[in-house]
């Protein structure tokens, strides 16, 4: 852990709000720290109480299975006291503003607040009104930095490196914070990023993202090392933007036939939750030779431990 | 008497036909020579001034064109064949027979059948019926929105794979700008046009004819020019935003023509078509012909008619299309307010266009034919409308000087609703060739 001695070199000395601003060395250092936790989490005794006595509040304004659970496990395995707050039980449902909620929680002197919020920029607004560390657990369609980091760890463990890889991100780029964080991270780490989506699921000026664009999935997937599928929010998208699930799967669902166009050892990833038969076929999702979807979940705990350690560990 | 034969669609290359002594006109290339043309199977094998100098190929059937114009088969990219759902008005069989009689070898059907064409199963049905019963190439648009409700997009990708040439909600134009934006965005990827019957339904508000002096006099509810032009203006802005291909169906107003002209000058992918009745008739015709001159968009004022002609002359309007809309008598022999919109047009398109545009010396023959051949073909991206080696052997033989008094009762169409009754026209298709076979022959 000596490489963490120079902690001030990190782009997020206090908070982790996004991948934007992180240098390749910062990202690599996070991944290195997380590697140690991967092994530790596979042991019977998973506790490593370096953050004993500190308090973590998980403040989730949106539903979550993976992110909230893994942040909770990460905190507890590091010895923290972890509180989970959801909107339904908070004063926000009584009309309190986000800033008032932030200042109220801040007064209880937590060491860290993990925030997920449906509006882009809300996590930064909250961070500006508290004294503790804030970790972005996903804000609107903006960023989801711990997802990008856990994806990077998954890729690095499978492929050895990120540099030089061709990564296809496919699906609802328009609304995806996972895509935005991953694009920033992958490009910083020297990977080539392709975006595959119908034009109505791309943001207004996709060329400004610095990626290769493909409307045709078969062309976009050809020769790729990594295929990251994104969840189609069927409850919001089918109808106004996507004619039908049948049509979406026909053109943009990852099935055996399309997967065969990628490199023979191409890895299939998905941030979850997956919609079987919408953006990914069940046989592909469940193929342990090709699918890293559950590896991503495992790496999620280790990455979040690494982030907590880097942000909160007091120098000895 | 006329002779009709259905094409077999699968001629072998050794089925050769030699068209001799023809005035060959290919509007795209500008070819205009006296010569011959040879078809092999369903393709054009060769054409030119001296191709039969060494003799007619052995086994070829010879057709002497007697110096008449042999041009690419005409297209009419807006027709209603009423099948499925209203077979008492027209069927694919009778509609395509009407097309053949008018020299039209490829049509594009509108999707307002019953049920509407918003699903690949309906599209597949139409293609099957066209193959089994059709006289000419029958292509079709599909709906922009499910059920033509203007809310949710159809399965545009699957429909294009099934052969849809474009999308339109026809008489129920898309009023929701966001739906129109998404349609243009998605269809851009698919490489097909979004075609709009441009009408603000709130402005037209139940009108049954053009809003103007004649509607004032007759006490009929009018449809203002603005009901068309506001939608054309909006859609052009959306085409610019999305980069999509936008096509104005049956343009009828001077204002809309001007909007299209300016959009083209800005380099946008915007095209327009006009119907013969909109460049030959005005709302004055409503007094005489009543419901047989009721269509949507309505016949407009003289300044609009003149603007349509001007648009055709300067290329602002790319194509002539008829909006062939068959209706039985019972739909028309009712008060103006409740009569069905639409007139038949396939059998009068060429004679009316030649008479009013070419014989009147407003346009060259090449330009008039261009608006019914390669230009409409390019709007819907079909392989048609050209006389060249390897192109489909779809041709029309035209007697430019054949005088004809239009008699709707003699139309091949099941419906006879035409305002051109007893109109005299000059120029007519005398032979129509589809897939290398003569499907219509007008005997003197």
Query: Which of A174, A195, A197, A199 would best serve as a mutation to test chain B binding (most B beta carbons within 10 A)?
Result: A199
Euclidean distance between CA atoms B417 and B345, whole angstroms: 9
Euclidean distance between CA atoms A24 and A31, whole angstroms: 11
On chain A, the residues whose CB falls within 8 A of the CB of B158 are 246-247, 250
Q: Does one domain contain both B274 and B350? A: yes
Q: How far is A240 from chain B (nearest CA, A)?
A: 5
Please tell me which residue in B235, B323, B394, B399 is annotated as part of the active site: B323
Going by C-alpha positions, the residue among B13, B74, B75 that lies closest to residue B46 is: B13
pLDDT of residue A9 exceeding 60, the answer is no
pLDDT score, position A10: 47
Query: Which of A220, A245, A247 would best serve as a mutation to test chain B binding (most B beta carbons within 10 A)?
Result: A247
**Domain count for chain B:** 2
Tokens describing residue A243:
């004619």
Average pLDDT across chain B, whole number:
97
Q: What is the pTM of this model?
A: 0.92
Is the Cβ pair A239, B152 closer than 8 Å?
A: yes
Peptide bond into A273 cis (omega under 30): yes
pLDDT score, position A7: 46
What average pLDDT does the segment A115-137 reach? 95
Q: Does one domain contain both B49 and B101? A: no
On chain B, the residues whose CB falls within 8 A of the CB of A241 are 153, 182
At B50, which CATH number?
A: 2.30.40.10
Euclidean distance between CA atoms A86 and A63, whole angstroms: 8
pLDDT score, position B290: 86
List, for residues A194-239, the tens digit of each pLDDT value: 999 999 999 988 889 999 999 999 999 999 999 999 999 877 777 7
3-state SS assignment for residue A229:
strand
What average pLDDT does the segment B149-176 reach? 96
Q: Does one domain contain both B271 and B300? A: yes
Going by C-alpha positions, the residue among A136, A145, A213, A222 that lies closest to residue A173 is: A213
Is the Cβ pair A200, B178 closer than 8 Å?
A: no
Asked if the structure places residue B311 within a domain, the reply is: yes
Minimal Cβ distance to A199: which of B155, B179, B186 = B186
pLDDT of residue B373 exceeding 70, the answer is yes
pLDDT of residue A12 exceeding 50, the answer is no
Query: Which chain B residues have any C-beta within 8 angstroms of a chain A C-beta?
Result: 146, 151-158, 178-179, 182, 185-186, 188-189, 242
List, for residues A155-204, the tens digit of each pLDDT value: 999 999 999 999 999 999 999 999 999 999 999 999 999 999 999 999 98
Write out the residue range of the structural domain in which residue B37 sits.
2-70+392-442
Maximum pairwise Cα distance, chain B? 69
Q: How far is A215 from chain B (nearest CA, A)?
A: 7
Q: Does one domain contain both B266 and B132? A: yes
**What ipTM is given for this predicted complex?**
0.85
CB-based burial, B98-131: b 16+ in 10 Å, e otherwise: bbbbbbbbbbbbbbbbebbbbbbebbebbbebbe
pLDDT score, position A11: 43
Tokens describing residue B368:
């008039």
Percent of chain B whose pLDDT exceeds 90: 98
CB-based burial, B183-210: b 16+ in 10 Å, e otherwise: bbbbbbbbebbbbbbbbbeebbeebbbb
List, for residues B61-108, the tens digit of each pLDDT value: 999 999 999 999 999 999 999 999 999 999 999 999 999 999 999 999
Which pLDDT band, with edges at 50, 70 and 90, does A3 fall under?
very low
Q: Among the residues of B145-300, which ranges form H helices?
A: 156-161, 177-190, 201-204, 213-218, 226-242, 254-265, 276-280, 285-289
pLDDT score, position B333: 93
Euclidean distance between CA atoms B430 and B444, whole angstroms: 9
At B293, which CATH number?
A: 3.20.20.140
pLDDT of residue A91 exceeding 70, the answer is no
pLDDT score, position A5: 38
Asked if the structure places residue B54 within a domain, the reply is: yes
Asked if the structure places residue B219 within a domain, the reply is: yes
Minimal Cβ distance to B182: which of A240, A246, A247 = A240
Asked if the structure places residue B397 within a domain, the reply is: yes
Euclidean distance between CA atoms B223 and B210, whole angstroms: 5
Minimal Cβ distance to B157: which of A240, A241, A247 = A247
Q: Does one domain contain both B429 and B300? A: no
Q: Is B323 a catalytic residue?
A: yes
Q: How far is B182 from chain A (nearest CA, A)?
A: 7
Which pLDDT band, with edges at 50, 70 and 90, does A13 fall under?
low
On chain B, the residues whose CB falls within 8 A of the CB of A239 are 151-152
pLDDT of residue B28 exceeding 80, the answer is yes
Full strand arrangement of the beta sheet holding B270-274:
B194-196, B246-248, B270-274, B319-320
Q: How far is A246 from chain B (nearest CA, A)?
A: 9
Domain boundary among B324, B353, B379: B379
3-state SS assignment for residue B36:
strand
Euclidean distance between CA atoms B396 and B430, whole angstroms: 8
């Amino acid at each position: 852990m000596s490489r963490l001695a120079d902690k001030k070199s990190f782009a997020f000395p206090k908070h982790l709000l996004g991948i934007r601003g992180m240098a390749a060395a910062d990202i690599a250092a996070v991944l290195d720290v997380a590697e140690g936790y991967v092994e530790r989490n596979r042991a019977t005794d998973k506790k490593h109480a370096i953050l004993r006595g500190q308090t973590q509040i998980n403040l989730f304004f949106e539903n979550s299975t993976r992110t909230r659970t893994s942040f909770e496990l990460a905190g507890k395995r590091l010895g923290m006291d972890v509180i989970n707050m959801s909107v339904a039980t908070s004063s926000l449902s009584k009309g309190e503003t986000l800033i008032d909620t932030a200042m109220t929680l801040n007064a209880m002197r937590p060491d860290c607040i993990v925030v997920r919020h449906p509006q882009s920029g809300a996590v930064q607004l909250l961070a500006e009104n508290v004294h503790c560390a804030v970790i972005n657990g996903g804000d609107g369609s903006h960023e989801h930095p711990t997802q990008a980091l856990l994806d990077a760890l998954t890729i690095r463990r499978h492929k050895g490196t990120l540099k030089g890889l061709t990564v296809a991100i496919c699906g609802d780029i328009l609304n995806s914070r996972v895509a935005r964080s991953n694009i920033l991270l992958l490009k910083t780490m020297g990977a080539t990023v392709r975006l595959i989506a119908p034009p109505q699921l791309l943001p207004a000026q996709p060329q400004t993202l610095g990626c290769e664009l493909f409307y045709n999935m078969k062309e976009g997937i050809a020769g790729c090392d990594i295929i990251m599928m994104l969840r189609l929010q069927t409850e919001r998208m089918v109808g106004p933007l996507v004619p039908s699930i049948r049509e979406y799967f026909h053109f943009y669902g990852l099935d055996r036939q399309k997967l065969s166009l990628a490199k023979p050892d191409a890895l299939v990833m998905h941030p979850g939750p997956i919609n079987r038969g919408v953006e990914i076929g069940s046989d592909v999702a469940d193929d342990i030779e090709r699918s890293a979807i559950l590896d991503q979940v495992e790496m999620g705990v280790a990455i979040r431990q690494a982030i907590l350690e880097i942000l909160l560990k007091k120098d000895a | 008497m006329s002779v009709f034969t259905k094409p077999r669609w699968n001629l072998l290359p050794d089925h050769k036909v030699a068209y001799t002594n023809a005035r060959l006109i290919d509007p795209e290339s500008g070819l205009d020579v006296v010569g011959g043309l040879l078809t092999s199977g369903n393709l054009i094998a060769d054409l030119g001034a001296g191709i039969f100098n060494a003799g007619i190929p052995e086994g070829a059937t010879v057709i002497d064109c007697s110096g008449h114009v042999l041009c690419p088969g005409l297209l009419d990219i807006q027709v209603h064949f009423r099948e499925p759902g209203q077979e008492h008005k027209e069927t694919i069989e009778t509609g395509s027979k009407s097309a053949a009689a008018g020299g039209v070898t490829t049509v594009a059907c509108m999707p307002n059948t019953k049920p509407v064409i918003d699903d690949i199963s309906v599209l597949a049905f139409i293609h099957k019926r066209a193959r089994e019963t059709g006289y000419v190439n029958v292509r079709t648009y599909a709906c922009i929105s499910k059920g033509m409700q203007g809310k949710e997009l159809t399965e545009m990708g699957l429909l294009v794979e099934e052969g849809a040439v474009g999308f339109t909600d026809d008489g129920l134009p898309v009023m929701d700008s966001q739906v129109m934006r998404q349609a243009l965005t998605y269809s851009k990827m698919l490489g097909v046009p979004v075609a709009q019957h441009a009408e603000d339904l709130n402005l037209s508000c139940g009108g049954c004819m053009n809003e103007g002096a004649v509607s004032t006099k007759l006490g009929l509810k009018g449809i203002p020019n603005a009901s068309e032009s506001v939608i054309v203006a909006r859609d052009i802005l959306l085409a610019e935003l999305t980069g999509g291909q936008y096509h104005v169906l049956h343009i009828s107003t001077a204002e809309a023509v001007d909007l299209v002209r300016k959009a083209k000058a800005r380099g946008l992918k915007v095209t327009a078509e006009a119907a013969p009745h909109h460049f030959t008739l005005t709302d004055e015709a409503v007094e005489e012909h009543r419901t047989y001159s009721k269509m949507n968009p309505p016949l407009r004022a003289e300044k609009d008619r003149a603007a349509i002609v001007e648009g055709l002359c300067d290329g602002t309007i790319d194509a002539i299309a008829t909006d062939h809309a068959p209706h039985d008598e019972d739909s028309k022999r009712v008060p103006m307010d409740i009569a069905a919109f639409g007139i038949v047009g396939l059998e009068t398109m060429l004679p009316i266009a030649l008479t009013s545009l070419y014989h009147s010396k407003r346009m060259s023959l090449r330009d008039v034919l261009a608006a019914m051949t390669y230009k409409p073909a390019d709007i819907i991206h079909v392989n048609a409308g050209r006389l060249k080696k390897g192109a489909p052997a779809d041709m029309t033989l035209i007697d430019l000087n054949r005088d004809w008094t239009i008699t709707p009762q003699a139309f091949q169409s099941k419906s006879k609703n035409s305002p051109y009754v007893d109109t005299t026209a000059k120029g007519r298709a005398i032979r129509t060739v589809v897939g290398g076979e003569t499907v219509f022959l007008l005997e003197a």
